[in-house]
Amino acid sequence: MTPLLADLASWWLQAGLLLGAGLVLPFAVRLRDPGVRLRLGQLLLATAILLPLLQPVPASETDGATGPGQAFSLAILVTGEPTATAISVETAVLALLVAGAALRLAWLGIGLRRLGALRRRSRPIASLPRPVASAMARIGTTAEILVSPDIASPVALGWRRPAILLPESFALLEEAEQEAVACHELLHVKRRDSWALLLEEGARALLWAQPAAWAVLSGIALSREQAVDHAAVASTGNRRAYLRALAVLARLSQESPAAALPFHTRSHLVRRVAHLAKEVPMSRTRISFATAVSAVSLLLVGAAGATAFPFGGDSQPPDAKATPAKGISVAADDGEVLKVGGDVKEPVELTRVQPTYPEEARKNKVQGKVILMAVISEKGSVTKVEAVESPDPMLTDAAIEAVKTWTYKPATKHGKPVKVLLTITVAFKLA
């Protein structure tokens, strides 16, 4: 697996873990307030997208300049042209992700065009009903009121010039019910929910391959409607009329042959009625406690995810690289091995064979740094070469094979040849 694919997998796993925890926690802590659940869902979504930017930057390897008490170090670069082959796994995965995001954005564009067409086909209401005028006064905002034969339930839309489309069945509602529905849609206008919806659909396009994101987005949509339901009931003070209006609209929506509105879910109407009917208010203390527990829990889950699936981590199997301790122990087993510095003078390179970029590695577009630990003997030959770090066994073998052929004028201490540690960083990079 290439480093890019490894990071994409880490992002997918971390986001899934965080979003999954966010789906479960509100039920675990009995967080019923829809406004808090809405903000929690939106925060989770934003965090999932920004996860790659919130990760600690992995410490980069240095070339290890020679100094007192240091292993003699050097770095070389091996370049190669990628072999022209069939589409690589990395290219295929990236193409799939980009295609999925493009399709979602195209679907978003189609939905926006449909809403624009619905607005253009709608007709201005003959005269503003008294309940709607009363709702505008209650909420403190206005919008263009239109009637559409193409919809089964009201909808607020528009960014610069907001409008509310009412179904023809709106006239069948009682005045108290009409005022309740108008309050609901005007609250959407006042809250600028159209902008939030647009951003959420953009997030859906980015996270289309993450199932947990779809579940979180569905919860966000439901929580938004429930939060507006509560605000509308608080404005009108008539819960029964509001429930009757929702029940009638739910029934008419199910019976209507009209196509579903883009970005709206008919099933939410039924769930909103059920939630509002059995509402159990939460105290501020209970909300604060549940929110704090959720926040701490999500921080712990996020930290656990970053630890378990880190960005910039190893993309090779465990046996593809050695640990630094193992590289040092080789030198210790080889007798008295010194480090360059002080009385120990560094060796002088006589011959060097450049590592060859493995054909299979070029074909699979594998690249990265191989760090080797070796010993330069009293005769100037390179012995006991081991990998300290490597992105792929193929690159390790190529680097070791070349390094073993190098020769040096031995390091000296008080004029006598001695064994010294040698650290080599071989950077394989595709042009």
The residues facing 268 across adjacent strands are none
**Distance between CA atoms of 397 and 332, rounded to whole angstroms?**
23
**Distance between CA atoms of 235 and 110, rounded to whole angstroms?**
35
The DSSP letter of residue 112 is: H
431 residues of the chain, pLDDT tens digit each:
567 788 899 999 999 999 999 999 999 998 889 999 999 999 999 999 999 988 765 544 443 333 444 555 677 777 766 555 445 677 888 899 999 999 999 999 998 999 899 999 999 988 899 999 999 999 999 999 999 988 888 899 988 899 999 998 888 889 999 999 999 999 999 999 999 999 999 999 999 999 999 999 999 999 999 999 999 999 999 999 999 888 887 777 665 555 445 555 656 777 888 888 877 778 889 999 999 999 999 999 999 999 899 987 544 444 434 333 344 444 444 567 888 888 888 899 899 888 888 888 888 888 889 999 999 999 999 988 999 998 899 999 999 999 999 999 999 998 899 998 888 899 888 86
Instruction: Extract the tokens encoding 418.
Output: 């001695």
DSSP string, 190-217: HHTHHHHHHHHHHHHHHTTT-HHHHHHH
CB 412 within 8 A of CB 61: no
Contacts of 293 (CB under 8 A, 6+ apart): 25, 29
| Half-sphere exposure of residue 235: CA atoms within 13 angstroms, side-chain side | 26
Q: Residue holding tokens 């929110």?
A: 291
Task: Output Rg (C-alpha) for the chain, integer angstroms.
Answer: 33
pTM: 0.70
| Domains of the chain, residue spans | 72-88+316-430, 92-279
Residue type, 18: L
Measured CA angle at 401 (ends 396, 403), to 5 deg: 95
| Closest C-alpha to 151, from 257, 263, 224 | 257
Residue type, 288: S
| Closest C-alpha to 418, from 343, 351, 350, 326 | 343
Instruction: Extract the tokens encoding 226.
Output: 């429930």
**Distance between CA atoms of 75 and 423, rounded to whole angstroms?**
8
**Distance between CA atoms of 403 and 398, rounded to whole angstroms?**
9
| Closest C-alpha to 185, from 145, 148, 221, 212 | 145
pLDDT of residue 330: 46
DSSP run (H or E) holding 369? strand 368-376
Domain boundaries 72-88+316-430, corresponding CATH code: 3.30.2420.10
